[in-house]
Structure 1
């Protein structure tokens, strides 16, 4: 994938703004509604968001630290890496949901959750927006980040943003299906 770096950042910012707006609407729901699950083993809306919060707890500081340490100048074009593009695209929801196994540490199923999960999600999305703004001033290809499953694998920052935000898309859509909104 090859795209204007600013265009990519703008697309990701718009998706993130939509997620903030949607999550703000969720604050009007009751905890009972947000804890509803369609089956015993499925996730509730709050569990979907808690799952994203757990990933955010890793990726937001990782991205922030890499941006702060980057000495690169921005490049006009972003060219995705093979592995990064694969990971990012695999996160996007398909017509027929492609189920994926999650790491035990990142699986919130049957957790006792309240609406603070929504507040945390909104907070993390706002932090992501700030990081997307800062990323305009560095090279999205030369700046690399670790990933949650291995500190040895590094992805281009642009691919990391795509992975994290597309992962959010996947689970926000899951929440929408659960709540039929």
Structure 2
């Protein structure tokens, strides 16, 4: 893989997280519980289940990223980031445009249907704000040398830049899924808001 400018890379990731945060506040925060908990017409997850799935990943990845950044505080910075084939593969699998096949969620990350919908939306908003803070801290880190374990096999450690890209692509995938569950009166063009 070719190296990319780290700050330009992080700018793009921050813009995606800002958009996810805006969607959560604008489209989900003030919805009735009935709307947030209503299963998809296709039999898929409700809006609350989509966000709870993301929250569960956030519970693993956000502290793992924080610990990785703490371990590398004071280490030399690097102006570029180079992805790995594995990191790129995981990210492409999650991106809505390139990851077209359905992936069954691991049991620990599959949310039940009965949830406290508003608490889940609040937690998602909090996690997106935390993710923005971590991206800001990452501007002073080496995204290639700093490693983070992955949730499916903690003995595998990916580059920090790859973990950010994977996590944010995964968020995008399920936020688009959640947006498709909005009532027709609030239906939005998901592609237009990207």
Contact kept? 2:52, 2:120, Cα under 8 Å: yes
For structure 1, which segment, 93-102 or 154-163, has the greater mean C-alpha deviation from structure 2 after superposition? 93-102
* TM-score calculated relative to the size of structure 2: 0.88
What is the RMSD of the two structures over their aligned residues, measured on CA atoms? 1.6
Contact kept? 2:37, 2:114, Cα under 8 Å: no
**What residue number does 2:68 align with?**
66
Separation in 1, partners of 2:23, 2:146: 31
**What residue number does 2:191 align with?**
none
SS across alignment from 2:139: helix
SS across alignment from 1:115: helix
Deviations 1:110-153 (A, max 9, x none): 23332110000000000000000000101000000000011110
Q: How does 1:71-110 map to 2 (within 5 A)?
A: 71-94=74-97, 97-110=100-113
How far did 1:178 drift?
A: 1.3
Deviations 1:44-78 (A, max 9, x none): 00000000000000000000010011143221111
Q: Does 1:142 align with 2:145?
A: yes
Separation in 2, partners of 1:53, 1:96: 21
Separation in 2, partners of 1:95, 1:132: 24
**What residue number does 1:163 align with?**
166
Unaligned runs of 5+ in 2: 189-194
Contact kept? 1:147, 1:155, Cα under 8 Å: yes
**What residue number does 2:15 align with?**
14
Q: Does 1:3 align with 2:7?
A: no
Contact kept? 1:43, 1:109, Cα under 8 Å: no
How far did 1:177 drift?
A: 1.1
How far did 1:98 drift?
A: 2.1
Contact kept? 1:55, 1:106, Cα under 8 Å: yes
**What residue number does 2:124 align with?**
121
Separation in 2, partners of 1:27, 1:51: 17
* TM-score calculated relative to the size of structure 1: 0.94
Q: How many equivalent pairs are there?
A: 181
Contact kept? 1:47, 1:113, Cα under 8 Å: no
How far did 1:41 drift?
A: 4.1
